[in-house]
Structure formats: C-alpha cells, structure tokens
Amino acid sequence: MSTPYAKLPAWADYGLIPLINLSVAFIVAGFVVMLVGENPFRAAVILVEGAFGKGTGIAFTLFYATTFIFTGLSVAVAAHCSLFNIGTEGQAYIGGLGIALVCLSFDSVLPWWAIFPMAIVAAAAFGALWGFIPAYLQAKRGSHIVITTIMFNFIAASVMVYLLVGPLKPAGSQAPQTRNFLAGAELPKLNWIIELFGAKIRSAPLNICFLLALVMAFLVWLLIWRTKLGYEMRTYGHSPKAARYAGISETRIILTAMMISGALAGMMALNPVMGDQHNVAIDFVSGAGYVGIAVALMGRLHPVGIVLAAILFGMLYQGGAELAFEMPAISRDMIVIIQGLVILFAGALEHMFRPYIQALFASFSPKSVGMQAVNGKGA
C-alpha cells in the first residue's frame, strides 16, 4: 500500500503547514498565559515588539539566530545522512576550547582579521574531532550515535569544567572562565547595518558571525544538493542498502558527515565567544545545541528553512526576555514553556494537521495534489 496522503503543492508544504503549526503553538501558549492571569494579546505584542520593535531588539534577535543557524545546520547535515547528532551541544562547547586556545595565544599580537580565520579553523577542527569519535564508534563498532553523542556532551562538559577551573583560569580569579580576550580577538559588530535603516542601537552583540552563518548556510545547501559527497550522504541517509549497492563506503560517509556536522557545531562558538563575551565561560553554549535540533526539524533540514526557523527562535529568546521583564507573572520558565510548545507543534507534531489540509486541497483543486499519481498509486 502506498501512502494514503497525496502530495501538496510546495508552497503549502513549506509555507502553509509550518505557519498553521506555529499559530496553533501560539494559541495554546496564549491559553497558558491566560492561566497565569495575564492578557495573552498584550503578551504577544510585548514578545514581538521586544524582538523586532527596536533596533536593539532586532540586533539581539539576529545574534541569537546566528547561534541557532550554526547548530541547526550541524544537526541537518548529520540528519541528511540519517545520523541523529544530539552531540551538537558538546561539539560547540569543545569548539569554544579551540577558539580559546587561538585567541589566548594571539590576541596580543595579531588583529581580529588575522585571528578570525585561525579561530574558525580551530573551532571547526575541535568540533569535528568531537564528532569524529562517536562517528568512528558508530561506523566501526556499531555503537549507536544517539547514545554516544549524548555521552560526549557530558564528557565535553566535564572536560571544560576541569579546564575552566584549572589550567585556563587566570591565577587568583574566582570565576570559572578564561581571562577576557584583548581587543585583537573581538569581532566587529554589525549594528551599523541595522542603523542604516534608521533604527537606534544602544549595545547589542550582533557581529560578523551572522554573515558567516549565512555563508555556511549557502555552503551547506551546495554540499547537500550539488556535490558528489552530498549525494552520497543523502543516498546513505535514505537507504544504507542502496548506498552499499552503489559502492558508497559506510565508514567513510558516516565519518565525513559527522565531522562536517561537528565542525558546524564548533563554529557556533565563534558567535558568543568572540562576538559577545570575549572569553570562554562555563556552560556558554547553554542549550543552543538542543535548540538546533528543533531548528533543523522545523526548517525541514533545508538551509533556507533553518535560517528562518533560527530567526524565529531568536525572536522567542529575545522577545521572551522582554516579556519576562515586562510581565512579572510570566517567569523565565514560562518562556521555556512557550518555546517547548513551538517545538512540540512545529517539530514533533509536524504532520498533525497535514491530512486535513490535504483533504481540503483535494476537494478544492484536485490538480494541485498531483493527479498524475493515479497510474502509479493505489494497489
């Protein structure tokens, strides 16, 4: 029996359905807001205005989005090879270690434009290494990548705690973090772009990593859909047996995909570390790796979708912070609930409304759902 669902036109598939899912998530979130005795409409206005209302808000939203683009792309690259990389969190954390080593070594002697490329390479290399080990265990020993990458998140956390309270901590400091980088390791801000449009910005961390993230999104698209490697990854991702038949080495493709995924995760660390805090502090990733899973799923593993989903989550982060500030009844935890609802409806329950929409389309315009399938389907 073939799938009982007919096809939908692309705009409905990629536009309408996510929009409906998102609306439902916000409606349910609205009820939660009502439950704690606040006006959901005012909450929505504060959230959106907080994220996009002022120049500073936009800059913060895009700063968070930058982080999520990297982690979303990381998850997506592995997912195209049917590897569920839950280790983005740890890979990003270890990527931060690579950046710290580069910045602490050279920030006194080199300008930012010389340090930045080195830091990119170091972040990618450290992240890739952290992806390589679970990949090797999967390819050679059959250890499940989901289990090993989760474990490697904990190992990464432990390693970083050791380093940040020990070798990397400046003597005499009580904070578990590296010393602050000198100006040489600070990335230029991008706030002037938003100011071009007339908005005013006080201080916001949006920096050139945003542009790097967009470039990486394009390169990931190129990799997945326009290169031999991407073709092989997708083949293996859809059917390992077909990959074997086509002469694609399982070991090689798993290792490569996970190292690229790890490298993208590692590069995420550039944004907060060099663009904002100018040090590596304990737990600086703070869950961005896990958000990346939701971003990748919501963006349908496509770079364009991932960029859009990342901006949405950036909005929830920034607008949510404003909301918690403006409405005392809505705590930080409430924001997490709203984010959870978005993940639930847009990720986990992605297909909940699909059959109804398909039925609707079929009754209005049979052609739009692909009548050509008649000959091939049914059985």
Partner 1 sequence: MAQAAIELIGINKSFGAVRANRDINLEVARGTIHGIVGENGAGKSTLMSILYGFYQADSGEIRVGGKPVSINSSNDAIALGIGMVHQHFMLVDNFTVLENVILGAENDALLKSSIAKARSELERLEREYGLEVDPDAIIEELPVGLQQRVEILKALYRGAEILILDEPTGVLTPAEADHLFRILKQLKEQGKTVVLITHKLREIMAITDTVSVMRQGTMVATRVTKETTVGELAELMVGRRVLLRVEKGQSEAGAIKLSVRNLTVKDSRGVTMVDDVSFDVRGGEIVGIAGVAGNGQSELLEAISGIRHAVSGEVMLEGKPVDLTGKADPGELRDRGLAHVPEDRHHVGLVLAFEENENSILGYHDDERYLKGPFLKVDVIMADARDKIEKYDIRPGNPRLKTANFSGGNQQKIVLAREMEQDPGVLIVGQPTRGVDVGAIEFIHKRLIAMRDQGKAVLVVSVELDEIRSLSDRILVMFAGRIVGERGPDATEGELGLLMAGVEHQEAAE
Q: Which residues bind partner 1 (CB under 8 A)?
A: 1-7, 222, 226-229, 231-232, 234-235, 238-239, 241-242, 244-247, 358-359, 361-362, 366-367, 369-379
- What is the total residue count of the chain? 379
Q: Which is nearer to partner 1, 7 or 169 (CB)?
A: 7
DSSP state of 281: B
Q: Which is nearer to partner 1, 67 or 358 (CB)?
A: 358
Least Å from the CB of residue 12 to partner 1: 12
Least Å from the CB of residue 128 to partner 1: 18
Q: Cα 147 to chain center, whole Å?
A: 20
Least Å from the CB of residue 221 to partner 1: 13
Sign (positive or negative) of CA dihedral 356, 357, 361, 366: negative
Q: Which is nearer to partner 1, 141 or 202 (CB)?
A: 141
d(CA 122, CA 101): 8
Least Å from the CB of residue 229 to partner 1: 6
Least Å from the CB of residue 147 to partner 1: 23
Q: Which is nearer to partner 1, 3 or 203 (CB)?
A: 3
Q: Which is nearer to partner 1, 202 or 367 (CB)?
A: 367
Place of tokens 């944004």: 271
d(CA 285, CA 335): 18
Q: Which is nearer to partner 1, 291 or 301 (CB)?
A: 301
Helix, strand, or coil (residue 189): strand
Contact 185, 278 (CB under 8 A): yes
Least Å from the CB of residue 375 to partner 1: 6
Least Å from the CB of residue 79 to partner 1: 13
Q: Which is nearer to partner 1, 189 or 302 (CB)?
A: 302
Contact 266, 123 (CB under 8 A): yes
d(CA 117, CA 115): 6
111, HSE (Cβ side, Cα atoms, 13 Å): 2
**Residue 294: partners with Cβ closer than 8 Å, 6 or more residues away:** 309, 313, 342, 343, 346, 347
d(CA 97, CA 91): 10
Q: Which is nearer to partner 1, 171 or 379 (CB)?
A: 379
Least Å from the CB of residue 357 to partner 1: 11
d(CA 105, CA 124): 18
Contact 273, 120 (CB under 8 A): no
